[in-house]
């Protein structure tokens, strides 16, 4: 296993990347990494248009964690289960500044496990018939958010 610094890790993130910050709520979030990503963006304007995928939005409700990434142009989409610890990112979502999806926290956690196992995907019955159901709203929380569900090669 190779260990690299948070600055080196941040330098490897490209525009339009999907980033899974890690941590769970106010525990285990890699603050040094979010700080390095935000600092790089503020100095270089890179990376841009990140998609954040998280089960429980890491932070402390006071500007740490994912809230460090709540910068216009840095994040363009966020998909998460719980938003309570990252109010600045949640405000960007509510204000329609970014695409945003709310998926069940447990389903996202299982998705992470499936990804770690090298599975090709995850099927779940959780949320069927609710606003989480892909053919309905797919968990979209604002008008800017596109449907991530594809049937027959199209999206709506």
Integer angstrom CA distances of residue 30 from 33, 36, 45, 46: 5, 10, 21, 19
Mean pLDDT of 124-140: 87
Q: Which of the listed CATH numbers 1.10.3720.10, 3.40.630.10, 3.40.1080.10, 3.40.720.10 matches domain 6-117? A: 3.40.1080.10
- What separation, in Å, do the N-terminal and C-terminal C-alpha atoms of the chain show? 42
Give the count of beta carbons closer than 10 Å to the beta carbon of residue 8.
11
Model pLDDT for residues 27-74, shown as the tens digit of each residue? 888 999 999 999 999 999 999 999 999 998 888 888 888 999 999 999
Instruction: Name the residue ranges covered by the structural domains of the chain.
Output: 6-117
Q: Please check whether residue 130 is in contact with residue 102, taking contact to mean a CB–CB distance below 8 angstroms.
A: no
- pTM of this prediction? 0.86
Residue range 94-117: average pLDDT? 92
CA–chain centroid gap for 72, Å, is: 15
């Amino acid at each position: 296993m190779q260990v690299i610094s948070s600055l080196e890790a941040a330098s490897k993130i490209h525009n339009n990347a999907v980033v899974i910050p890690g941590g769970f709520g106010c525990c285990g979030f890699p603050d040094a990494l979010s700080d390095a990503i935000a600092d790089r963006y503020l100095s270089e304007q890179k990376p841009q248009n990140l998609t954040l995928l998280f089960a429980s939005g890491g932070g402390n409700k006071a500007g740490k964690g994912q809230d460090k990434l709540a910068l216009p142009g840095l994040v363009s989409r966020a998909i998460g289960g719980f938003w309570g610890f990252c109010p600045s990112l949640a405000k960007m979502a509510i204000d329609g500044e970014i695409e945003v999806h709310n998926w069940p926290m447990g389903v996202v956690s299982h998705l992470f496990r499936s990804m770690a196992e090298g599975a090709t995907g995850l099927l779940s019955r959780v949320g069927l018939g609710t606003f989480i159901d892909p053919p309905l709203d797919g968990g979209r929380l604002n008008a800017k958010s596109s449907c991530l569900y594809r049937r027959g090669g199209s999206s709506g």
